[in-house]
Amino acid sequence: MTDARVPGDKSISHRFLILAALAEGDSRLSGVPASLDVASTISCLRALGVTVDEREAGVIRVARESDWRPPLTPLDCGNSGTTARLLIGLLAGLGVGAELGGDESLMSRPMDRVVYPLQAMGARINYADRLDRLPVRLEGRASGDLRALRYRPRVSSAQVRGALLLAALTGRQDVEILDRLRPRDHTERILRSMGAPVVSEAIGSGERVHFPGASWSGGLAPLDATVPGDISSAAFMVAAALLTGTELAVRSVGLNPTRTAFLRVVQEMGVKTEVRESGFEAGEPVGDLMVSPSQLTAFVLDGDLVPQLIDEIPVLAVLASRAEGISEIRGAGELRVKESDRLALLSANFRALGVRCEELPDGLLVHGSSVPLRGVVRTGGDHRIAMAFGALGAAPGCEIEVDDRDCVNVSFPGFWDTIGQFVAVEEAP
């Protein structure tokens, strides 16, 4: 059996860092990954007056030793949509004036999903250039003058939920969020572990989340936690193991039930998986994941599960290309506004490699085959496209080159060394 470890969870790391900055006292965080996205959050927090430093090997101290301060220059969120959307919510509640921007990819991604409800709460947020796109400018104002909000998001999104909870927390106001589908719940879990009275209630396939910010006078306890391994990164290792017939154990990985829908799909494909929980970190379950390879069969994925595995769809599509039968992915239109149009890139790259694939408005039909695949993958600078096809390159007889290996550093520095346990993937000249 091959043992593997993956970097700390990116989604959890963003939230650990931001919520630690709001805590009453110093927080100590271990296992924070050295990814570019997380570095963007750290850089922005420092620009706002938060102390983020490494006092001992592998342990980061987060503390706010003075008031939040308006940044002297625009906050650069890099490629990180989570950084941008969560900070917009944070600053809206604090009443701190700032401008937020990012790289070319991030500047093309929609922001109305957080800006509109925050404006409904009374935040003064304006687009500096194009509607619904970064850069955005938040006007400084007195903290605590937001209005309560009861909101039904058009898109079930952990980033939207996180932004609204941060605004309510720092603006001392009530918020109620009614999601049609259940997204990731990291923000709520971490807040509860720090002492905040966040209530979550299942409603059919969706969820109601309520935070009584106007009546809660408490503060957040500091964090002393280790970031679990990123299960979205582990998905690429699982794929490589399945494609090469390798038994795999991923150690100390996050097992949040709103993040393990990927495992339900691979189980539908005929794969045997085993999960062994070993404990919790700030409300987040952690443990080991074991996978035993088997013959892969096609799957059907509809919209209900998509919010919980949106990052894993590229690697599921790759597995579908080597499965028996035709796999169907629907309800995934959100992939068109990620770091790239992932549906278009997946379809185009499949066809270039010789995989029969039909692109749908909100998904894909992928025809499985055992024919050896050869060719060059165009990533569009998208880390998850690069890693998905990197995993596919592990399949016997496949010779796949990736045009931009460095883009994986957004989320998984060291990916190519880790995937090398299964096969070496070459970079296109």
The pLDDT of 205-227, averaged and rounded, is 97
Whether pLDDT at 382 is above 90: yes
Return the domain boundaries, the chain: 9-226, 231-419
For residue 127, pLDDT over 70 is answered with: yes
9 is an active site residue? no
Please indicate whether the domains covering 9-226 and 231-419 agree at the CATH topology level: yes
Segment 45-54 shows an average pLDDT of 97
d(CA 320, CA 325): 8
Residue 221, pLDDT above cutoff 60: yes
Q: What is the pLDDT of residue 315?
A: 98
Q: SS3 for 43-74, per residue?
A: HHHHHCCCEEEEEECCEEEEECCCCCCCCCCC
Listed residue (42, 103, 100, 37) closest to 73, CA to CA: 100
User: How many beta carbons lie within 10 A of that of residue 338, not counting itself?
Assistant: 20
User: Distance between CA atoms of 379 and 346, rounded to whole angstroms?
Assistant: 9
Give pLDDT, residue 304. Answer: 82
Question: 197: which 2 tokens?
Answer: 């009275």
φ, ψ of residue 248 to 5 degrees: the values are -135, 140
pLDDT of residue 425: 46
Burial of 315 (0-12, 13-18, 19+ CB in 10 A): buried
Rg value, the chain, Cα? 21
Q: 71: helix, coil or strand?
A: coil
Residue 9 binned pLDDT confidence (cut-offs 50, 70, 90): very high
CATH-assigned architecture of domain 231-419: Alpha-beta prism (3.65)
Give the percent of the chain with pLDDT over 70.
Answer: 98
pLDDT at 421: 87
In the chain, how long is the greatest CA-to-CA distance?
63
- The pLDDT assigned to 142 comes to 72
Mean pLDDT of 403-415: 96
The pLDDT mean for the chain works out to 96
Residue 65: what pLDDT? 87
Is pLDDT above 70 for 424?
no
Query: pLDDT tens, 22-40?
Result: 999 999 999 999 999 999 9
356: pLDDT strictly greater than 90: yes
Residue 426 pLDDT more than 70? no
Of 179, 311, 341, 362, the active-site residue reads: 311
pLDDT of residue 144: 66
Q: What is the pLDDT of residue 423?
A: 62
**pTM surpassing 0.85?**
yes
Per-residue model confidence as pLDDT tens digits over 142-180 = 766 899 999 999 999 999 999 999 999 999 999 999 999
Q: Indicate whether 429 pLDDT > 90.
A: no
pLDDT tier, 57 (very low <50, low <70, confident <90, very high otherwise):
confident
CATH 3.65.10.10 fits 9-226, yes or no: yes
Sheet with 149-151: strands ordered across: 149-151, 174-179, 206-212, 199-203
